[in-house]
Structure 1
Amino acid sequence: MILLDLKQRKVWNEQHRLLTAIISKPEEHSRATELFISQHSLLHSPSILETYQTTLEDELLRDLDEKVFRHDPTPNPDTNNSIAWHLWHIARIEDMTMNILVATESQVLFEENWLEKMNIDYIHSGNDMSEKDIALMSSRIEMKQLVAYRRAVGKRTQQVVSKLKPGQFKEKVEQERIGQLFKENAVSQNSKWLAEYWSKKTIAGLILMPATRHNFLHLNKCIRIKERLRK
């Protein structure tokens, strides 16, 4: 299955609307969890579920060279940021929201020396990041290690969501968890608006945006960047 196909994009969006409709219903918990796993898997490496389906990440990484990966700023109408930044940004957002806000566990970032492996020292979400820092990060980050980090984040997310019990999707994010975002420097002081936005969400809201649609939107942007740069 190729998600670049407009029909498949439509199917993904239709399934996401279904997930939105049922995720907060305790009686639909098992169905919603299975649907989330399916939707989420199509945004990551097939290895997180050991599937042979082609995913949106596959489509992006196919024939993606380092020059295109790092190119910053990009000549795209809806974003100036590099593919490197977009992949790092969605991995960081998913890591912090699923592990700090949903599971109250340590972030994947701080396990297995991911910062050192990726050759960067940025730990925040990347929101409100300066153009200079985006360019520097894009030039330094290790492409293969970033992809591996994102894969680890995806695996953890599926473990976290699979452990949730019926009714938990409706729970609000605990305010002490919002505070933890700042303690771990996951969200910068310039991006307090982001923490405030998440503070109003339920667990379902976090699953429907950072863990699924947020990835979908940014991966599509990355594919458009790749196509434009390769013309």
Structure 2
Amino acid sequence: MKYFGEGLSEKHKQLNSIIRQSNKIEQAKEIFLEIHASLHLSKISGTRPNEVDSLINDLCDNEYAIMPTSKDETIAWVMWHIARIEDIAMGILAADGDQLFNESWRQQMNVSITDTGNAQTDDEIMNLSKNINIEELLNYRNKVGNRTREIVSSLTQDDMKRKVLPKAIEKILCEGGVTSQQDSIWLLDFWGKKDVAGILLMPPTRHVMLHLNDCCKWKEYIRTRNKFFRS
């Protein structure tokens, strides 16, 4: 069921169809930025209030740390997960540079992990969700979103076709962006087969769309049910 992002899938298909065409680089970047604006708080792109504002702005801290059913995660975990993946994928893979996350951000957010959280158990997800500083988590995601827009605005057609570099994949592992656990390290193989266009089509767009849809579904569930799997 669709809870978030009406029409975004169609825009994403359009982006996919032109993103590697040399004569449509500016159009592709424009569509990317339009999609991306819908996946972050409106203040990131300066647009009118959007669905992310509606999702986030009235959430209570305790609602971030509820696991609705045994098949779900939490909204806090999703915000951490999508922010970390966008930071890593855009900063290290797309820009061939650095991630924003560092020890200072780790302390500000009050987290013990540095990776994307892919391999976390339910207990670990709940521990992260109950202890993370939500305000700083959202600040971090905002910074990541702003930096993504800067990176994409400066990309050339040659950049779009550039393959992800092996040194970038190694850097992610060395900096703790993923762990050696099977449910985490597979990301390196997945990303390593991409070009920059392929990165833009998943971590900062399609991937976020799917997770925000889950968050909107969970928010509705949390506010209409009395019993949850974990809280």
Normalised TM-score (structure 1): 0.91
Answer yes or no: is 1:57 the counterpart of 2:52: yes
Bigger RCO (CA 8 Å, 6+ sep): 2
Shift of 1:4: 5.2
The equivalent of 1:160 in structure 2 is: 151
Q: CA RMSD in A?
A: 1.6
Shift of 1:106: 2.0
The equivalent of 1:183 in structure 2 is: 174
Answer yes or no: is 1:220 the counterpart of 2:216: no
The equivalent of 2:80 in structure 1 is: 88
Aligned length: 221
Unmatched tracts of structure 2, length 5 or more: 225-231
User: Is the CA contact 1:94–1:210 (under 8 Å) kept in the aligned structure 2?
Assistant: yes
Residues 24-83 of structure 1 show CA distances to partners (whole Å, capped at 9, x for unaligned) of: 11110011011101110110011112222x223212113211121111x3227xx42111
Normalised TM-score (structure 2): 0.91
**Whole-angstrom distance in 2 between the partners of 1:99 and 1:82:** 25
Answer yes or no: is 1:116 the counterpart of 2:111: no
Superposed structure 1 runs of 4+ greater than 3 Å apart: none
**Whole-angstrom distance in 2 between the partners of 1:110 and 1:195:** 20
The equivalent of 2:35 in structure 1 is: 39
**Whole-angstrom distance in 2 between the partners of 1:147 and 1:136:** 18
The equivalent of 1:229 in structure 2 is: 222
Unmatched tracts of structure 1, length 5 or more: none
The equivalent of 1:150 in structure 2 is: 141
**Whole-angstrom distance in 1 between the partners of 2:114 and 2:105:** 10
SS of structure 1 residue aligned to 2:120: coil
- The share of aligned pairs that are identical, in percent, is 36
Select which of 119, 123, 133 maps to 1:128.
Answer: 119
Residues 178-207 of structure 1 show CA distances to partners (whole Å, capped at 9, x for unaligned) of: 111111010111122111011111111110
AA in 2 matched with 1:28: K
